[in-house]
Homo-oligomer: A and B are copies of this chain.
């Protein structure tokens, strides 16, 4: 079996994390997700929540700074986090086959490892339901919609700043699956099948 790593990029609220964990369990692999945040926090001294907000999305202030170009010429905390994120994800990949959820792992590892690059997305309705009822990160109604739109923008902006890829553009993935249509179990099943096919070559 080849040393192939599964990277799961995902829209906010699309259940990408749950799918990643299910894939890892089926394949008997490690799934790295929040551990990456913990490791960055440990090595940087930043608070874990601060790392979470700045390791995949721009923070509120970072978002506006990126629009105005304010932080183009300074090495920001977010840049420090990016450097550590790159180092930690590369170290995790070196250990062998695994599943890595988010954190631009697809971009960070693309020239170094054989990857199965997955993108998970979902309908806004399902995402709103998930972020309100499951993640408890927004109140139902207008608040949740605003939260979703803002998060989508910040994640896309982060990709613009740190990679030369466009978030969600099929060119950068091997498969893009809607968890709304397919459900978590079928998505996980399809990814394990694709992994079996790719590693059997």
A190 to B188, CA, bound (A): 12
Name the prevailing secondary structure of the A interface residues. helix
Q: How far is the CA of A197 from the CA of B170 in the complex (A)?
A: 23
This chain: copies in complex: 2
A116 to B194, CA, bound (A): 20
Contact B116 A181 (CB under 8 A): yes
A170 and B175 form a contact (CB under 8 A): no
Contact present for B181 and A178 (CB under 8 Å): no
Closest to A182 in B: B194
User: Chain A interface residue count: which class?
Assistant: 20 to 34
Residues on B with C-beta less than 8 A from A88 are none
- Decide yes or no whether A133 CB sits under 8 A from chain B: no
Q: Is the CB of A182 within 8 A of B175?
A: yes
B residues near A140, Cβ cutoff 8 Å:
none
**A176-B175, A193-B186 as given contacts; A121 in contact with B170, CB under 8 Å:** yes
In the bound complex, residues from chain B placing their C-beta under 8 Å from that of A194 are 181-182, 186, 190
